[in-house]
Amino acid sequence: MPLLACASEQRQGFSMEDDSEIYRVRSECQDVATSSVPRRRRRKLSAEKWRAAFDAQGRLNVKRVLRHIERGGVASEIRAHVWEFLLGVYSPGSNAAEREELRQSRRDKYLKLKAECKRMDAAVGSGEVVISPRMNADGVSMEENNPESIEEQTINGVLDPSPSAKIVQWKVLLHQIGLDVVRTDRVLEFYEDPKNLGKLWDILAVYAWIDEEVGYCQGMSDLCSPMVLLFPDEADAFWCFKCLMRRVFITFDVGKRENFRCTNKMMGVQKELSFLAAAMRVIDPKLHRTLEALGGSNYIFAFRMLMVNFRREFSFVDTLTLWEMMWAFEYHPDLQILYMESPDGHIDNAQPDYRAGGRFAKRNIKYGSPRALNEHPSLAVFFVAGILVLLRSKFIKRIQGLDEVVRALNDMSGKIDAYRACQKALKFHKLYLKKVKKSNT
């Protein structure tokens, strides 16, 4: 299977005994959270078990590997390849030759998109990270020694005297992307190399161009950074990130991309926060009433956790493990089909296999229907609920205001066992479903 070999070769030169050897932290950053998961419980999907899950043509028996991932994540040397399947970059039913063809097609497509962006701004692909404003909302260039206006910008190599607002919006976003990029995961040795920062900026700039509805919002750099580190080829990192964005948007509301959309009437993760409030009313009514009395009935203090998928609550290593465990638990055949997108923008016509599903997804199917994707909160919501219940005694007995709630949650950073937290989330999910079913009968 050539793709597996390629994925394995990506990590050559690294020790696979400890993730921290791969995702090294800069020596001067001593206050960074370290892994809180005991080594004896790191039962990760191994390269050997991963290879054994493919048939002779290279088709993946996804059911065979999900349980291993749920128990402790994925070994570092195969992580990039496994993520491509968990996120829907490739269908488990595809063979090795089909995946290689699609990979090359997507690489070509990314190069074309990047070239299109470069024609509008020369910084794209140059390795430069733009941190100063390029253009104001009126379409006037703000670059030094460049008084030209938007009327002198080109697209697709052709002078456009009246370009759309899309170009203006994109150019306005570029410096915000840059400001976030230079702050993202700077504790890692990987980002001491300016070329890696440039790759992260390029991916986000291209994504902002093709996604007219969302563009770019703060938090996306945190979600994209692991992709840049895992995939030596920038195009592969881009497509994995793009599928993650589809997953973020689709999981909570098919057709309504709310997670990164902010308006004067709605904050991006509002639906998830509403789900969290509903779940807490069922799981722990007393704690919910306490938080409500403190003015936290909207659970806005959990905004950051849900927005960037717990990047601040765990070490970089534990975040990767947590993500892949949660993706395995939530693996749902219908959703995977929605995640899968071909280079031309069409969704793959794969057939769902309901035997292949994560524990969380199967429970939702049991208490709902296979097609009811959004009847229940996401696993992330129950994950937050577990953290809140862990702090229950402090919240009920000592905390007097929401600022103290936020402080208590911040103090938990780096102290949560990702594995145990997942088990607690699943426990609360089961409790929630049972109580909801009982109240409806």
Domains of the chain in start order, with CATH, are 1-94+262-441 (no CATH), 97-244 (1.10.8.270)
Longest dimension (CA), the chain: 71
Q: Which residues pair with 347 in a beta bridge?
A: 341
Q: Which of 98-102, 152-156, 361-365 has the least mean pLDDT?
A: 152-156
What is the rounded CA–CA span in Å between residue 316 and residue 185?
8
Digit-coded pLDDT (tens) for 260-290:
444 433 345 788 899 999 999 999 999 999 9
How far does the chain reach from its first CA to its final CA, in angstroms?
A: 51
Rounded average pLDDT over 26-33? 66
Q: Is the pLDDT of residue 307 over 50?
A: yes
Q: Which of 8-12, 123-127, 294-298 has the least mean pLDDT?
A: 8-12
Digit-coded pLDDT (tens) for 71-105:
999 999 999 999 999 998 998 989 999 999 999 99
Q: Is the pLDDT of residue 25 over 70?
A: yes
Average pLDDT, the chain: 80
Q: Is the pLDDT of residue 9 over 50?
A: no
Q: Is the pLDDT of residue 369 over 60?
A: no
What are the CA-CA distances from residue 199 to residues 112, 134, 167, 274, 320 (Å)?
Answer: 16, 19, 21, 36, 20
What is the rounded CA–CA span in Å between residue 187 and residue 191?
8
pTM: 0.84
What is the rounded CA–CA span in Å between residue 302 and residue 385?
10
Q: What's phi and psi for 332, nearest 5 deg?
A: -130, 125
Of 147 and 76, more confident: 76
Rounded average pLDDT over 116-133? 94
Distance of CA 314 to the CA centre of its chain: 14
Query: What DSSP element (H or E) covers 159?
Result: strand 158-159
Closest CA to 319 of 332, 330, 310: 310
pLDDT at 425 (0 to 100): 93
Rounded average pLDDT over 104-117? 96
b/e string for 248-270 if b means 16 or more Cβ within 10 A? Answer: bbbbbeeeebbbbbeeeeebbbb
Query: What DSSP element (H or E) covers 316?
Result: helix 316-329
What are the CA-CA distances from residue 283 to residues 130, 280, 286, 287, 288 (Å)?
Answer: 46, 5, 9, 9, 9
Of 372 and 100, more confident: 100
Q: Is the pLDDT of residue 110 over 90?
A: yes
The string of DSSP codes covering 216-241 is: --TTHHHHHHHHHHH-SSHHHHHHHH
Of 7 and 376, more confident: 376
Q: Is the pLDDT of residue 13 over 50?
A: no
Closest CA to 414 of 41, 34, 38: 34
Q: Quick check: 58 and 101 in contact, CB under 8 A?
A: no
pLDDT at 112 (0 to 100): 97
Q: Which of 196-205, 316-325, 362-371 has the least mean pLDDT?
A: 362-371
Of 2 and 131, more confident: 131
Closest CA to 174 of 214, 133, 213, 138: 133
Q: Which of 141-155, 196-210, 286-300, 378-392 has the least mean pLDDT?
A: 141-155
Q: Is the pLDDT of residue 370 over 90?
A: no
